[in-house]
Amino acid sequence: MRLEGKTALITGGGDGIGKATALLFCEEGAKVGIMGRTGSRLDEVVKEAKGPGEISAYQGDVSKEQDVKRVVNDIYKKYGKIDILFNNAGIYEGGCVVKTSIEVWDRTMDINVKGVFLVSKYVVPIMSKHGGGAIVNNSSVLGIVGMENCVAYNASKGAVRQITKSMALDHANENIRVNSVCPGYIKTKMDPEFMGNPPDAEEQLDKIAAGMIPLVRRAEAVEVGHAVLYLASDDARYVTGSDLVIDGGWTTV
Protein backbone atom coordinates (compact mmCIF):
# COMPACT_ATOMS: atom_id res chain seq x y z
CA MET A 1 0.00 0.00 0.00
CA ARG A 2 1.57 3.25 -1.17
CA LEU A 3 -0.30 5.57 1.21
CA GLU A 4 -0.46 3.51 4.40
CA GLY A 5 -0.42 5.84 7.40
CA LYS A 6 -1.08 8.93 5.27
CA THR A 7 -3.92 11.43 5.60
CA ALA A 8 -5.25 13.30 2.56
CA LEU A 9 -7.63 16.14 1.78
CA ILE A 10 -9.26 16.11 -1.66
CA THR A 11 -11.39 19.03 -2.81
CA GLY A 12 -14.14 18.48 -5.35
CA GLY A 13 -14.31 14.94 -4.01
CA GLY A 14 -17.94 14.23 -4.85
CA ASP A 15 -17.52 13.14 -8.47
CA GLY A 16 -15.19 12.83 -11.43
CA ILE A 17 -11.45 12.90 -10.85
CA GLY A 18 -11.82 13.82 -7.17
CA LYS A 19 -14.07 10.86 -6.46
CA ALA A 20 -11.90 8.41 -8.41
CA THR A 21 -8.79 9.64 -6.60
CA ALA A 22 -10.42 9.43 -3.18
CA LEU A 23 -11.49 5.82 -3.78
CA LEU A 24 -8.01 4.95 -5.06
CA PHE A 25 -6.31 6.59 -2.08
CA CYS A 26 -8.57 4.61 0.25
CA GLU A 27 -7.56 1.37 -1.47
CA GLU A 28 -3.93 2.41 -0.98
CA GLY A 29 -4.41 2.78 2.78
CA ALA A 30 -4.98 6.52 3.24
CA LYS A 31 -7.42 8.27 5.52
CA VAL A 32 -9.15 10.67 3.16
CA GLY A 33 -11.25 13.75 3.82
CA ILE A 34 -13.28 14.80 0.79
CA MET A 35 -14.63 18.34 0.48
CA GLY A 36 -17.39 19.49 -1.86
CA ARG A 37 -20.46 21.68 -2.11
CA THR A 38 -23.01 18.86 -2.47
CA GLY A 39 -23.29 16.72 0.64
CA SER A 40 -25.29 13.91 -0.99
CA ARG A 41 -22.55 13.28 -3.55
CA LEU A 42 -19.90 13.18 -0.85
CA ASP A 43 -21.96 10.70 1.14
CA GLU A 44 -22.21 8.40 -1.87
CA VAL A 45 -18.43 8.36 -2.20
CA VAL A 46 -18.11 7.43 1.46
CA LYS A 47 -20.50 4.50 0.87
CA GLU A 48 -18.44 3.28 -2.10
CA ALA A 49 -15.14 3.26 -0.20
CA LYS A 50 -13.27 -0.03 -0.16
CA GLY A 51 -9.92 -1.11 1.15
CA PRO A 52 -7.91 -0.57 4.32
CA GLY A 53 -8.25 3.23 4.36
CA GLU A 54 -11.29 5.34 5.10
CA ILE A 55 -13.13 8.32 3.64
CA SER A 56 -14.89 11.11 5.54
CA ALA A 57 -17.13 13.78 3.99
CA TYR A 58 -16.93 17.52 4.65
CA GLN A 59 -19.36 19.85 2.93
CA GLY A 60 -17.97 23.24 1.99
CA ASP A 61 -17.09 25.70 -0.76
CA VAL A 62 -13.38 26.17 -1.55
CA SER A 63 -13.98 29.79 -2.54
CA LYS A 64 -15.23 30.69 0.96
CA GLU A 65 -12.53 31.20 3.56
CA GLN A 66 -14.69 30.24 6.54
CA ASP A 67 -15.67 26.95 4.87
CA VAL A 68 -12.04 26.17 4.10
CA LYS A 69 -10.86 26.95 7.64
CA ARG A 70 -13.63 24.82 9.13
CA VAL A 71 -12.99 21.80 6.91
CA VAL A 72 -9.21 21.91 7.30
CA ASN A 73 -9.53 22.25 11.08
CA ASP A 74 -12.07 19.41 11.28
CA ILE A 75 -9.84 17.05 9.30
CA TYR A 76 -6.82 18.04 11.36
CA LYS A 77 -8.71 17.45 14.60
CA LYS A 78 -9.88 14.03 13.43
CA TYR A 79 -6.61 12.71 12.02
CA GLY A 80 -3.90 14.84 13.66
CA LYS A 81 -2.13 15.70 10.41
CA ILE A 82 -2.61 16.28 6.68
CA ASP A 83 0.09 14.67 4.57
CA ILE A 84 -1.48 15.10 1.13
CA LEU A 85 -3.60 17.80 -0.47
CA PHE A 86 -5.22 17.37 -3.88
CA ASN A 87 -6.61 20.73 -4.98
CA ASN A 88 -9.05 19.27 -7.47
CA ALA A 89 -12.20 21.41 -7.26
CA GLY A 90 -12.93 23.27 -10.47
CA ILE A 91 -15.67 24.47 -12.79
CA TYR A 92 -15.96 25.21 -16.51
CA GLU A 93 -18.14 27.87 -18.12
CA GLY A 94 -17.57 28.77 -21.77
CA GLY A 95 -17.26 32.04 -23.60
CA CYS A 96 -14.82 34.37 -25.35
CA VAL A 97 -13.58 37.55 -23.70
CA VAL A 98 -16.47 39.56 -25.15
CA LYS A 99 -19.25 37.13 -24.26
CA THR A 100 -17.96 36.00 -20.86
CA SER A 101 -19.90 37.80 -18.15
CA ILE A 102 -18.25 39.36 -15.12
CA GLU A 103 -20.16 36.83 -12.99
CA VAL A 104 -18.77 33.86 -14.93
CA TRP A 105 -15.24 35.27 -14.80
CA ASP A 106 -15.42 35.88 -11.04
CA ARG A 107 -17.02 32.50 -10.32
CA THR A 108 -14.37 30.66 -12.36
CA MET A 109 -11.51 32.50 -10.69
CA ASP A 110 -13.03 32.09 -7.24
CA ILE A 111 -13.28 28.30 -7.46
CA ASN A 112 -10.43 27.38 -9.81
CA VAL A 113 -7.80 29.80 -8.53
CA LYS A 114 -8.84 31.31 -5.20
CA GLY A 115 -9.85 27.84 -4.03
CA VAL A 116 -6.33 26.51 -4.61
CA PHE A 117 -4.92 29.54 -2.77
CA LEU A 118 -7.25 29.28 0.22
CA VAL A 119 -7.00 25.54 0.86
CA SER A 120 -3.22 25.62 0.44
CA LYS A 121 -2.99 28.65 2.75
CA TYR A 122 -4.49 26.67 5.63
CA VAL A 123 -2.98 23.25 4.88
CA VAL A 124 0.65 24.26 4.32
CA PRO A 125 1.25 25.31 7.97
CA ILE A 126 -0.07 21.93 9.13
CA MET A 127 2.22 20.09 6.73
CA SER A 128 5.17 22.21 7.80
CA LYS A 129 4.46 21.54 11.48
CA HIS A 130 4.48 17.79 10.88
CA GLY A 131 7.58 17.53 8.72
CA GLY A 132 6.31 18.07 5.19
CA GLY A 133 3.83 16.75 2.69
CA ALA A 134 2.74 16.62 -0.93
CA ILE A 135 0.36 18.95 -2.74
CA VAL A 136 -1.09 18.21 -6.17
CA ASN A 137 -3.00 20.93 -8.00
CA ASN A 138 -5.40 20.04 -10.81
CA SER A 139 -4.61 22.24 -13.79
CA SER A 140 -5.45 21.19 -17.36
CA VAL A 141 -4.00 20.90 -20.84
CA LEU A 142 -5.91 24.16 -21.32
CA GLY A 143 -3.46 25.71 -18.93
CA ILE A 144 -0.79 24.82 -21.50
CA VAL A 145 -2.51 25.33 -24.88
CA GLY A 146 -5.37 27.58 -25.86
CA MET A 147 -8.86 26.66 -26.97
CA GLU A 148 -11.60 28.87 -28.33
CA ASN A 149 -14.56 30.01 -26.25
CA CYS A 150 -13.15 29.25 -22.81
CA VAL A 151 -11.12 32.31 -21.89
CA ALA A 152 -11.93 32.20 -18.17
CA TYR A 153 -11.15 28.50 -17.85
CA ASN A 154 -7.92 28.82 -19.86
CA ALA A 155 -6.81 31.74 -17.70
CA SER A 156 -7.66 29.96 -14.45
CA LYS A 157 -5.81 26.79 -15.34
CA GLY A 158 -2.74 28.70 -16.48
CA ALA A 159 -2.80 30.42 -13.12
CA VAL A 160 -2.91 27.07 -11.33
CA ARG A 161 0.30 25.99 -13.08
CA GLN A 162 2.06 29.17 -11.99
CA ILE A 163 0.75 28.91 -8.42
CA THR A 164 2.18 25.39 -8.40
CA LYS A 165 5.65 26.55 -9.39
CA SER A 166 5.61 29.43 -6.92
CA MET A 167 4.53 27.19 -4.04
CA ALA A 168 7.12 24.57 -4.94
CA LEU A 169 9.88 27.17 -4.55
CA ASP A 170 8.41 28.77 -1.45
CA HIS A 171 7.97 25.57 0.54
CA ALA A 172 10.73 23.21 -0.62
CA ASN A 173 12.73 23.98 2.53
CA GLU A 174 9.74 22.76 4.57
CA ASN A 175 9.84 19.39 2.77
CA ILE A 176 6.57 20.18 0.98
CA ARG A 177 6.46 19.08 -2.64
CA VAL A 178 4.01 20.84 -4.98
CA ASN A 179 3.15 19.57 -8.45
CA SER A 180 0.27 19.79 -10.90
CA VAL A 181 -1.58 17.37 -13.14
CA CYS A 182 -2.82 18.57 -16.52
CA PRO A 183 -5.60 16.28 -17.76
CA GLY A 184 -6.92 16.33 -21.33
CA TYR A 185 -10.13 14.67 -22.50
CA ILE A 186 -11.38 12.77 -19.44
CA LYS A 187 -14.68 10.97 -18.99
CA THR A 188 -16.24 13.34 -16.47
CA LYS A 189 -19.28 15.61 -16.51
CA MET A 190 -17.11 18.59 -17.48
CA ASP A 191 -16.56 17.58 -21.12
CA PRO A 192 -20.29 17.20 -21.91
CA GLU A 193 -20.84 20.54 -20.14
CA PHE A 194 -18.15 22.03 -22.39
CA MET A 195 -20.32 21.05 -25.36
CA GLY A 196 -23.56 22.31 -23.85
CA ASN A 197 -24.78 18.84 -22.76
CA PRO A 198 -26.30 17.62 -26.04
CA PRO A 199 -28.00 14.19 -25.81
CA ASP A 200 -25.25 12.53 -27.84
CA ALA A 201 -22.37 14.27 -26.05
CA GLU A 202 -20.55 11.06 -25.14
CA GLU A 203 -20.62 9.80 -28.74
CA GLN A 204 -19.44 13.18 -30.03
CA LEU A 205 -16.63 13.30 -27.51
CA ASP A 206 -15.45 9.81 -28.44
CA LYS A 207 -15.33 10.84 -32.11
CA ILE A 208 -13.41 14.03 -31.27
CA ALA A 209 -10.91 12.06 -29.20
CA ALA A 210 -10.44 9.49 -31.96
CA GLY A 211 -9.65 12.28 -34.41
CA MET A 212 -7.24 14.37 -32.33
CA ILE A 213 -5.73 12.19 -29.57
CA PRO A 214 -2.78 9.96 -30.54
CA LEU A 215 -4.05 7.27 -28.14
CA VAL A 216 -7.48 7.64 -29.89
CA ARG A 217 -9.60 7.67 -26.74
CA ARG A 218 -10.62 9.66 -23.69
CA ALA A 219 -9.19 8.74 -20.31
CA GLU A 220 -11.09 7.32 -17.38
CA ALA A 221 -11.05 9.53 -14.28
CA VAL A 222 -9.11 6.91 -12.34
CA GLU A 223 -6.25 7.18 -14.84
CA VAL A 224 -5.74 10.74 -13.64
CA GLY A 225 -6.11 9.40 -10.11
CA HIS A 226 -3.13 7.13 -10.64
CA ALA A 227 -1.04 10.12 -11.71
CA VAL A 228 -2.10 12.00 -8.58
CA LEU A 229 -1.25 8.92 -6.51
CA TYR A 230 2.26 8.88 -7.95
CA LEU A 231 2.87 12.56 -7.21
CA ALA A 232 1.39 12.24 -3.71
CA SER A 233 3.39 9.14 -2.79
CA ASP A 234 7.01 8.69 -1.77
CA ASP A 235 7.68 7.34 -5.27
CA ALA A 236 7.82 11.01 -6.32
CA ARG A 237 9.89 12.19 -3.36
CA TYR A 238 12.33 14.07 -5.65
CA VAL A 239 9.62 15.62 -7.84
CA THR A 240 8.44 19.17 -7.23
CA GLY A 241 7.39 22.11 -9.38
CA SER A 242 6.42 19.80 -12.24
CA ASP A 243 3.37 19.52 -14.50
CA LEU A 244 2.35 15.93 -15.26
CA VAL A 245 0.38 15.97 -18.51
CA ILE A 246 -2.26 13.22 -18.88
CA ASP A 247 -3.67 13.83 -22.33
CA GLY A 248 -3.05 10.76 -24.49
CA GLY A 249 -0.53 12.77 -26.52
CA TRP A 250 -2.85 15.70 -27.37
CA THR A 251 -0.33 18.48 -26.65
CA THR A 252 2.46 16.74 -28.59
CA VAL A 253 0.64 17.09 -31.92
Q: Which domain CATH number covers 64?
A: 3.40.50.720
Residues in CB range of 159: below 8 A, 6 or more apart: 109, 112, 113, 143
In a domain? residue 193: no
In a domain? residue 213: no
Q: Tell me the C-alpha distance between 246 and 253, whole Å.
A: 14
Instruction: Please report the pLDDT score of residue 253 as a whole number.
Output: 82
Instruction: Please report the pLDDT score of residue 82 as a whole number.
Output: 98
Q: Is 168 left (phi over 0), alpha (psi -120 to 50) or beta?
A: alpha
Indicate the burial class of 103 (C-beta count within 10 angstroms; 0-12, 13-18, 19 or more).
exposed
Which H or E element spans position 155? helix 151-171
Residue-range definition of the domain harbouring residue 89? 7-185+220-252
In a domain? residue 141: yes
| End-to-end C-alpha distance for the chain, whole angstroms | 36
pTM: 0.95
List the one residue out of 148, 222, 150 whose CA is nearest residue 183.
222
* Cβ-based neighbour number of residue 129 at 10 Å: 12
User: Is 45 in contact with 14 (CB distance < 8 Å)?
Assistant: yes
Q: What is the mean pLDDT of each run of 10 residues along the chain (253 residues)?
A: 96 97 98 97 97 97 98 98 98 94 98 98 98 98 91 97 98 98 88 72 85 92 98 98 96 89
In a domain? residue 106: yes
In a domain? residue 204: no
In a domain? residue 212: no
Instruction: Please report the pLDDT score of residue 159 as a whole number.
Output: 98
In a domain? residue 36: yes
User: Is 74 in contact with 126 (CB distance < 8 Å)?
Assistant: no
In a domain? residue 111: yes
Active site residue 238: no
Task: Work out how many domains the chain is built from and give that number.
Answer: 1
DSSP 36: E
Instruction: Please report the pLDDT score of residue 12 as a whole number.
Output: 97
Catalytic residue of the set 153, 185, 230, 238: 153
